[in-house]
A and B are shown apart, each in its own frame.
Chain A
């Protein structure tokens, strides 16, 4: 800073000697208040416009500023004149407000540009640049002062002071971090939460939970869901609007001809060719919502992971590494589709504590 000031004080041949509007060194005059010829000074690097151009520029700029003035008024008028309350009027209000604002801003901008280019001089001023670094003397002075101050403060020769100060700061620094604990839930067995869905819970009456159609909430009678290639987005009964439950329990339900199903599908968990898979993609959790009837492919629209629905929803393309888990289903006494249990592996995206749940299931299966 001091360096900078020194530079400025040195007169410089290429900078205009007298800068318009700046005060003289005499302290008695008011800032910017001095009697001064503020007509344009003829200095090198300042190329004045000829009067004809300037006059023309003034007129154009004035016209543009007038447009801004009028558009500004138009903006206020449209705010009052065009009410909102339905889609059409909101559209109209948007157009008139936005249109007048745009016109006001753009013509103001154009006016300013005309002013700079046609009225103001063309400039080619030169200023010297100086190295950013301070000179050696300054550096030395700062270094000495620092050491002197450190010595005066006693921080160097009084270790007790220093150490207790450090010790004092540590817990205070941790305090805000401790406060963040309650951002998370009170339980700490997060991964366990991710292993279960509401399909594992029985209803209040102690029955298996019904599969209901997403949106309508209607239970599904197996006999009615009978056209091969049919597909439904399904949610658990009683949790139709619980987003936390839906984020794990949403299903994609597909009807096959029994002969179409391949070995990857657990046939015990199907009902007359009806198979239920988790709709939550095993990649990063988007709903895998697209289904191609002819190939039996389920496709996630986010990153195009593709699963073969006829073959246990195994991955046939894309970044997902695991098949969509299959849900065990059956029909209840009234003929409605129900879940007979939870998924046997965690649904959705992988997480650190997940482990190879599929392999564990296979091992347990072979033992029993």
Chain B
């Protein structure tokens, strides 16, 4: 059957809407909006769909959860805890798990979706970072992303504190211990947060309203802004045949992208359902109700808090008293410094890079990570720093599993956290250059064809053929990284304004190291894709090394 006119049930309401809000204009512009294709562009969608699952399952949970610390005696269907005194919050979580049909499923799906939400955000962010997709004009969306990631961490923290089981209480206790250690305001913050002394009777109700209303509300607003900006600015694309900075190549929103996105949502939802069904998570009934007097060994936060846990564990004892006031540096430093380095570093990176390269152009073609070796190396160093802290958040498990001394695990960790990122930086930088060389070899000499040819004088050679068109276009998408103009002034010459003085000199130095063309694709025979940005950036790329002129 083939339609010859739009059916009435669709045309009727659409016309109604068009008459009132001019929906036609919007649809005209957007029905066939083109979305570029690359597997890595789907990572952010994992986070988006997980968030939707979180809203759905979370709403269900609120219907049954009681955010109260009122003391009750448990009388539900979990025998092991019958007659035990506990908070109403914990009792209602047990009720959700055992006495509400589908309750356990929703609880476990909610928890898994939370883990996937943050994992999705993290890998999406890494993709954007390593491909340079945060560059102008997308810096604002990058900042929104960093804020969302920070909020999501806090959302997770408030979430797993709610059931008020022994494990969740241990997390809360550590949160309190960290908050109270802050100079000047620590005591005030904790007494206001907890409504008095720890644990008090207010914190769960307060975290509840933060967790189900305030933070998700802000997240929802930011997600909308994130989507709108993405829609307006259009997606970046990987370099390739026919793809330039001035076009978008891909599938239309309607019908292909829409259906794909729907499928992807269903896959995400399905995988969360699969995990929620078959992979037990946070079996709160095994932990028992919270009391500040008890703890179970091997207590661990959810993975996204692991790096903070690791830094707390690694830090050596250090506390100073000044003028009768106490600075517990062994808490303040690990709690604030790594988080500060990671989050501030992420937020500022686009602007620092702009400052170093002097590059104020719009970028819509994503970089291949190898083509900006310093950025890639910095990113990998960051991952190593974060990853080591995260790993050492489980130093007791490592020591237990591998039968090594706990103390030595910690001592080694203290050194690795500083040395590891440096090694990773150097290794990554070298790997990137190696990969660039291999690209240059493919462009310059072709690829091995598998055909062996015997020359008249008896020598055997393997025939190299030119690379496939699309692969070559993908490789030729490489652009030299800009260098601020004037950075290559002779030692005795006068540098341009802005590059004088100590900061200017540093900028020139960094710019020269960061930018330029390290391994030219064509051995200096000229550069593939056209540059239409000559005028203003004439100096771009034409710097120290045997490189390109336009």
Contacts and interface: CB of A to CB of B under 8 A. Distances in A.
B299 interface: yes
A120 interface: yes
Interface in A71-102: 79, 82-87, 90, 93-95, 97-99, 101-102
* Interface core residue of A16, A97, A315 (most chain B CB under 10 Å): A97
A129 B105 contact: no
Interface in A89-122: 90, 93-95, 97-99, 101-102, 104-106, 108-110, 112-113, 115-116, 120-121
B98 A15 contact: no
Contact of A350 (B137, B246, B319): B319
Interface residues of B, number: 131
Contacts of B328: 321, 349-351
Nearest to B18: A31
B514 to A, nearest CB: 25
Interface string A287-320: 1011000000000011111000000000101111
Nearest to B71: A241
Q: Which of A22, A108, A321 is most buried by chain B, counting CB atoms within 10 A of its CB?
A: A321
Contacts of B98: 84-87, 90
Interface string B179-198: 01111111110011101111
B5 interface: yes
A209 to B, nearest CB: 16
Contacts of B18: 23, 31
Contacts of B451: none
Contact of A112 (B103, B176, B262, B317): B262
A233 to B, nearest CB: 6
A98 B27 contact: no
Contact of B297 (A191, A247, A301): A301
Given A31-B24, A184-B188, A38 B317 contact: no
A115 B200 CA distance: 56
Nearest to A91: B104
A235 B326 contact: no
Nearest to B264: A109
Contacts of A34: 5-6
Contacts of A305: 317
B418 interface: no
Contacts of B401: none
Given A19-B32, A125-B34, A126-B247, A351 B186 contact: yes
Contacts of B187: 190-191, 194, 351-353
A123 B192 CA distance: 58
Contact of A301 (B103, B260, B295): B295
Interface in B293-325: 293-299, 309, 312-319, 321, 324-325
Given A101-B273, A185-B191, A38 B173 contact: no
A249 B77 CA distance: 33
A179 B15 CA distance: 49
A285 B176 contact: yes
B181 A284 contact: yes
B266 A108 contact: yes
A349 B277 contact: no
B173 A285 contact: yes
- What bracket does the count of chain A residues touching chain B fall in? 35 or more
Contact of B102 (A15, A97, A121): A97
B393 to A, nearest CB: 10
Contact of A36 (B4, B192, B269): B4
Contacts of A304: 313, 395-396, 406, 410
B267 A109 contact: yes
Contact of B317 (A30, A320, A354): A320
Contacts of B79: 86-87
B396 A301 contact: yes
Interface string A47-81: 00000000000000000000000000000000100
Given A90-B98, A132-B233, A247-B199, A105 B191 contact: no
Nearest to A233: B293
B366 to A, nearest CB: 14
Nearest to A132: B137
Given A301-B296, A302-B174, A127 B247 contact: yes
Contacts of B247: 14, 126-129
Contacts of A193: 197
A130 B123 CA distance: 29
B173 A284 contact: yes
Given A102-B273, A284-B178, A318-B317, A35 B4 contact: yes
Contacts of B100: 84
Contacts of A98: 105, 109, 273-274, 276-278
A322 interface: yes
A32 B299 contact: no
B492 interface: no
Contact of B274 (A31, A106, A194): A106
A141 to B, nearest CB: 20
A120 B199 contact: no
B364 to A, nearest CB: 6
A317 B176 CA distance: 22
Interface stretch (B150-158, B251-259, B519-527): B251-259
A250 interface: yes
A8 B23 CA distance: 15
A113 B263 contact: yes
Given A102-B274, A129-B364, A190 B188 contact: yes
Given A86-B79, A126-B242, 15 more contacts: A31-B24, A82-B101, A84-B101, A85-B99, A97-B277, A98-B277, A112-B259, A113-B260, A123-B256, A243-B291, A246-B292, A284-B176, A319-B317, A321-B317, A351-B328
17 contacts: A16-B32, A31-B15, A31-B18, A33-B12, A84-B103, A85-B98, A87-B77, A90-B99, A93-B104, A97-B101, A101-B105, A112-B259, A128-B246, A286-B174, A302-B174, A348-B177, A349-B176
Listed from nearest, the 4 A-B pairs whose CB atoms lie closest are A98-B277, A284-B177, A105-B270, A109-B266
